[in-house]
Structure 1
Amino acid sequence: MKSFCLPSVLISLASLAGLAVNASAAPASAAMATPALSTVSERSGFIQTGRYDEVIALCAEFQKTYPDAVRCLEFGRTPEGRPMLALVASRTGALSAAQARQQGVPVTLIQGGIHAGEIDGKDAGFLALREALDNTRAKGALDKQVLIFVPVFNIDGHERFGRWNRPNQRGPEEMGWRTTAQNVNLNRDYMKADSAEMQAMLKLINDWDPLATIDLHVTDGAKFEHDISIQVEPVNSGDAGLRQSGRQLRDAVIADLARQGSLPLPFYMSFAKEDDPLSGFVDSVPPPRFSHGYFALRNRFGMLVETHS
């Protein structure tokens, strides 16, 4: 593990996390003229989100538009038969796992929709990827790394659309469901790998060995002034050197978000005793059934991004 990889990771992560906040909070007037490769979310002023057919179409269109920098990859099939898609993006020429290993290029994996009702990351991710490829945001980041973007992890759950799946969440108008078609919560399945979706994801991870994995969520619980939280491991556990780099990663992203006008926190805002605000908050080591707890056991960085309603 080499610390020189971290700056390039930080650039793209901060950009994407900031866009996730903006996408969830933007008013309808934020919609701009329809750009190439735009999403239903952008065109609706961030009040709607598209169905999975849009992900399939955009994955192919990104590869067509940026043939030297993007590869549309199918890495599995869901129990209901839908393709699990990832966009591999880089200006290094490394668009396969073998090429990335041969060239020693660091890999960052960003995933949206592990809880498919929490879908800001899908729409913000497509926007961030397009701007990174066009060098209008995170300039030069793709010259230094491979970025793997999984727009939706829980695809079958994503297609269980409804207006009241997340009644306390601030948009979109309709969204998917938290668990899979088999009622599996994928963010409790990293260690067990009971689900077909997790088995496919872990194969992708084993093939590419990402230095950092960023898991994008939205919470619909208690209302806070703070609009986003960033958790990273190793920070509270693990190798001392990795903990120092984990704090560097977390603090740099938080600083970038603050400069963009957000009010970020370095811990997840859950009460020590559920439904008792007077009990305070606890910042502890996440168990490995969660994404950011799991990757610490692999001596890699896991980041949990939670935008807050």
Structure 2
Amino acid sequence: MRDERSDDAARAAGLTGLVTEPLSRRGFVMTGLMSGLTLATTRVEAQVIHTDSAGIEAGEVRIPAGDGPMPGYRAVPEGAGPFPVVLVIEEIFGVHDYIKDICRRLAQVGYCAVAPELYARQGDLSTMTDAKQIVRDVISKTPDAQWIADLDAAAAYAGSAAKGDLGRLGVMGWCRGGRGAWLYAAHRRDLKAAVAWYGPIQGERTEIQPRTAGDVAAEIHAPLLALYGSADAGIPVATVEEARDRAKAAGKTVELVVYPEAPHGFHADYRPSYRREPAEDGWNRALAFLKANGVG
């Protein structure tokens, strides 16, 4: 029998072009980051961007968390610093080469970028080839309170051991991580700016994931840049507009940019959904937004 709820979750996560065949569940936790790209993709696109490490320090790190070291990736310019901090929130697929490259891109323009593996306790994403399984067995079982605390731990690590300046703290997230950017902006009072790339606004509320991005829109503590595509089958633009208007009514700042005909995942250069022009424009807007709001 087909799992319709899993199908709906997969659509909401923007899984067009991703593998969804049934596989057996893996029962161990990640202790390190995956090498290469996620296995949960039908093919790797030729336009994959690779940013080198010249002039920066980049690599896997262990981030002190409440129950032990959490795997993560850090990229930071060479030199004494301190540098403004951007917390990078992954998609549902783990901190793979695409997320690592984003950290290096940020470091190349002067940021201390840290991407913690927020799903390390729930499953080993490096082995999973079934996108719907990831949603069902990992994403839906990761409490919001857990990953928010882990982002706080990553920020503390950046400020104490990674040459980061927490007085200039920002967050940027993609897909499910875009939802995370909204929620983290409602959590962290000293956050200066947030950027949400096509993060789901609606969704099922559960005991461990009790609020949606739309629910917290009026509570954000920092200006938020929302980058979305008009052709995103899982995120109606009207829902983002409603969240923006709810934030505005509460005296908050949400700058919404909607790219015509862009699908979900338009920034993901390793996936068929990639669209170069909106991806590049969104990236330039994101960097300008961070600097304009004190993260730079």
TM-score range, shorter chain: 0.3 to 0.5
TM-score (norm 1): 0.39
Give TM-score scaled by structure 2 length: 0.41
Could you say which structure has the higher helix fraction? 1
